[in-house]
């Protein structure tokens, strides 16, 4: 059945290249998460707005992000904007697509977290003489971030996995892109992609583990 001889040595030598790619992968994931969290907070607040002009665009963003493929969102950034003469590089298109996706999912996470905090907490804070914004900042936000922390780290893992989609729009510096580049030149598809898979797995596990340790330090209550 197997007439194929595996050539691991050749793939093994490419490890440094793959690790360089892994750094780019991490970079994109972290950037997209940082921006995603910022947009998500705005979206979560905007979706509670009474003004239709604020509420509607935020809702469209969230629903499109959640109801279309991430790859579609990246295509929109890369190919779609071409209709308006905007041509984003694969890197920027990938970053924009994942950021859009992260923000949509995280906005729902934050909204759910806000709802999970009893309204009596705000009343208690207001009763102590705190203005609305101060009560929100000192009492509600810290609790919201705790509830949202684990779902947010899950989204971080998703962001890492999503970076692999960049290869479909010509990205060639992240882990998937580098892997595909080597593959095209060596045709050792299985070996090189297997190595990439291991690296992705280790990154995902490291992020999950790191997040858990961080949570234990940050949330002692």
Partner 1 sequence: MIEIKDVYKSFGTLEVLKGINLTVEKGEVVSVIGGSGSGKSTLLTCINGLEPINSGSILVDGVEVHAKTTDLNKLRRKIGIVFQQFNAFPHLTVLENVTLAPRKVLGMSKPEAEAIAEKQLAHVGLGDKLAVYPGRLSGGQQQRMAIARALAMSPEYVLFDEVTSALDPQLVGEVLDTLKLLADDGMTMICVTHEMTFARDVSDRVAFFHKGIMAEIAPSKEFFNAPQHPETQKFLSNIRS
Partner 2 sequence: MFETSMTLSDLMFLAKGAGMTIAVTFFAVTGGTVMGLLFGVIRAQISPWAALPLTFVLDVFRSVPLLIQLVLANAFQAIAGLNLPPFATSCIILALYTSAYCTEIVRGAIDAVPMVTRRAARSLGLSWGQDMTYVVFPMALRVALPSWIGLTLGVLKDSALVLWLGLIELLRSGQILVTRLQEPMFILLVVGLIYFLLSFPIARFGSQLEKRWREND
Determine, following the binding rule CB under 8 A, whether residue 114 of this chain makes contact with partner 1.
Answer: no
Cα(99)–Cα(93) distance, integer angstroms: 10
Which parts of this chain interact with partner 2 (CB under 8 A)? 1-4, 63-64, 66-72, 75-76, 79-84, 157, 161-165, 167-168, 176, 179, 189-190, 193-194, 196-197, 200-201, 204-205
Q: Which is nearer to partner 1, 125 or 192 (CB)?
A: 125
Residues 192-221, interacting with partner 1 (CB under 8 A): 219-221
Nearest to 192 by CA among 10, 21, 24, 19: 10
Integer CA distances (angstroms), 87 to 62, 69, 80, 108, 165, in order: 24, 21, 9, 30, 18
Q: Is 4 exposed, middle or buried (0-12, 13-18, 19+ CB in 10 A)?
A: exposed
- Residue 123 found at the interface with partner 1 (CB under 8 A): yes
Cβ atoms of residues 55 and 47 within 8 Å: yes
The minimum distance between CB 71 and partner 2, in angstroms, equals: 5
The single residue among 56, 92, 124, 214 that binds partner 1, judged by CB under 8 A, is 124
Q: Using the rule CB under 8 A, is 126 a contact of partner 1?
A: yes
Binding footprint of partner 1 on the chain (CB under 8 A): 118, 120-121, 123-131, 134, 138-139, 142-143, 146, 219-221
């Amino acid at each position: 059945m197997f007439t194929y001889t595996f050539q691991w040595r050749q793939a093994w030598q490419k490890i440094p290249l793959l690790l360089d790619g892994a750094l780019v992968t991490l970079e994109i994931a972290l950037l997209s998460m940082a921006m995603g969290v910022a947009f998500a907070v705005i979206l979560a607040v905007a979706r509670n707005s009474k003004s239709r002009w604020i509420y509607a665009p935020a809702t469209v963003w969230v629903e499109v992000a959640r109801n279309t493929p991430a790859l579609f969102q990246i295509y929109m950034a890369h190919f779609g904007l071409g209709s308006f003469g905007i041509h984003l590089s694969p890197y920027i298109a990938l970053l924009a697509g994942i950021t859009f996706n992260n923000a949509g999912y995280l906005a729902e996470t934050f909204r759910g977290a806000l709802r999970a905090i009893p309204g009596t907490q705000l009343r208690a804070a207001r009763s102590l003489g705190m203005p609305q914004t101060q009560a929100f900042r000192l009492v509600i936000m810290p609790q919201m971030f705790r509830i949202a922390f684990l779902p947010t780290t899950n989204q971080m893992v998703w962001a890492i996995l999503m970076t692999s989609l960049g290869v479909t729009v010509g990205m060639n510096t992240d882990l998937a892109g580098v892997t595909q580049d080597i593959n095209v030149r060596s045709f050792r598809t299985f070996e090189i992609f297997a190595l990439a898979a291991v690296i992705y797995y280790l990154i995902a596990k490291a992020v999950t583990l790191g997040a858990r340790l961080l949570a234990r330090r940050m949330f002692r209550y």
